[in-house]
Amino acid sequence: MSQPDVKDKNETQDSKDLKRDAYKAAGVDVEEGYRAVDLMKKYVKTTHDSRVIGGIGGFAGMMTLGGKFTEPVLVAGTDGVGTKLKLAFSLDRHDTVGIDLVAMCVNDILCQGAQPLLFLDYIATGKLKAEQAAEIVKGVSNGCRQAGAALLGGETAEMPGFYAEGEYDLAGFAVGVVEKSEIITGERIGEGDVVLGLPSSGAHSNGYSLLRKLFAEEIAAPEATDSAKAITKMLLEPTRIYAPEVRVLMPRFDLKGMCHITGGGFQENVPRMLPEGLGVAIDTAAWKRPEIFNLIEARAGLTPAELFGTFNMGIGFMVVLSAENAAQALEALAIEGYEAYKIGEIVKVSAGKDRVIL
C-alpha cells in the first residue's frame, strides 16, 4: 500500500519535525497516515499468494500472471461504490463497502471471461482516521479473497477541506487475465440459447440516491424498531462477487455470454452482451426476489419496467449457454452450493424494439 511521501534522507530530525508540524497545521496528519498503513497491512497480506513479488510499501506492486497462457490477454475495469457510501457514513459502518468496491470492478471483468488477478484501491478523505481506513481495507481484502485477486497496492489521500467531516470516496481498479482464444464476447449467442440467472444479495451498489430517499426514516433512526434494523441491514448488504460461480462453469461449459446487472438494471446491461437482432425473454417468476425489492416496489410507485430498468431485482449476474448444457450447468453449481435459475431464453427482436422482454 502506498504511504505518504514525506521522507527525505538529507533532512535533519528537526527539519522533519518542522515539516510534520506544518503538514498537521494544514490539516494533514502524516503520522496518522503511517498508522493507517500499519493497520491495513494485516488485511492486505491475506490476499497475497506466491504470484505476488515483493512486499508492501514500495512505489508499485508486482506479480506474475500465474498459470500457463499461450496468448494471455489482460482485462481491466474500474468503478466506485457511489452514494451507497452515504449510508455507510450515516450508520458509521465501514467494513462492507470495500466488498462493494471489489465486486463492482471484478464482476465487470468476469463478463469477458477474465480470471481476476489483482486489485488496487484508492481512498480519499478530508481527515484521515486510521481505524476507519483500516476497516475499509478490511472489506476490500475480504472482497479480493472472494474474487481470488491480490490486493496489490493502493493509495490513501488526505485532502483537508475537500470532503465533508467523516466522509470519504472510494475507487477501485481490477485486472484479470484470459487466454485470447477463450475471451467471451457474446458474438456466438444465438436464438434458443438459455439464460441462467445468479441471485443477487440485494440492491448491490445501484439506485442508492433513490433508496436513501425511500428509506430516509429508517436510515435516520436505524435502531428505532426491528423493521428499521432489518431494512438498514438489507440496504448495507454488500454486493455479491460472482467469481466463484464463474470458476465452476468456465472450465466445463461453453459460455457464450455473461452479463453483470449493475447500474441501469436489465434494460441497460443485458443488451451489452447480445449481437444485433437478438433479445432476451425473461421469466420474472423464475426466482424469488429478496425482500428489499418488495419494499422498494411498495414505496416507489414504479412500474415493472422502471424497476427492472433501475435495479437488479434479485438477479446480479447472467450466463448464456446452449439449451442442451443448461441443466448440467445448474447441477454443477448446485453441487458446489451455488444457487442459479433458468430465467430466460434468447429470442429474435425487430430493429428498434425492446431487447429485454419481461
**Cα–Cα nearest to 144, from 193, 80, 207, 98:** 98
**C-beta of residue 127 within 8 angstroms of C-beta of residue 165:** yes
pLDDT of res. 2? 41
Q: DSSP states of 203-249 as a string? A: STTSSHHHHHHHTHHHHHSTTSSHHHHHHHHHHHPPPPP-HHHHHHH
Cα-Cα-Cα-Cα torsion 164, 165, 167, 168, nearest 10 degrees, comes to 80
Same fold, 13-182 and 194-357: no
- For residues 97 and 117, what is the distance between their CA atoms, to the nearest angstrom? 20
List the pLDDT tens digit at each of the 358 positions of the chain: 443 333 333 445 554 454 455 456 555 667 877 787 787 788 888 889 888 888 777 788 899 987 789 999 999 999 999 999 999 999 999 999 999 999 999 999 999 999 999 999 999 999 999 999 999 999 999 999 999 999 999 999 999 999 999 999 999 999 999 999 999 999 999 999 999 999 999 999 999 999 999 999 999 999 999 999 999 999 999 999 999 999 999 999 999 999 999 999 999 999 999 999 999 999 999 999 999 999 999 999 999 999 999 999 999 999 999 999 999 999 999 999 999 999 999 999 998 899 999 9
pLDDT of res. 14? 52
Q: Domain 13-182, what architecture?
A: 2-Layer Sandwich (3.30)
**Cα–Cα nearest to 2, from 49, 41, 50, 47:** 41
- Here the contacts of 271-274 (C-beta below 8 Å, separation 24 or greater) are 271/355, 271/356, 272/186, 273/111, 273/186, 273/189, 273/318, 273/320, 274/186, 274/189, 274/346, 274/355
**3-state class of 342 per DSSP?**
strand
Q: Where are the domains of the chain?
A: 13-182, 194-357
pLDDT of res. 20? 53
- For residues 166 and 183, what is the distance between their CA atoms, to the nearest angstrom? 42
- For residues 34 and 273, what is the distance between their CA atoms, to the nearest angstrom? 44
**Cα–Cα nearest to 128, from 137, 119, 140:** 137
CATH no., domain 194-357: 3.90.650.10
Sign of CA dihedral 247, 249, 255, 257: negative
Q: What angle do CA 326, 332, 334 make, to 5 degrees?
A: 105
- For residues 195 and 201, what is the distance between their CA atoms, to the nearest angstrom? 19
What nine digits make up the cell of 224? 428505532
pTM: 0.90
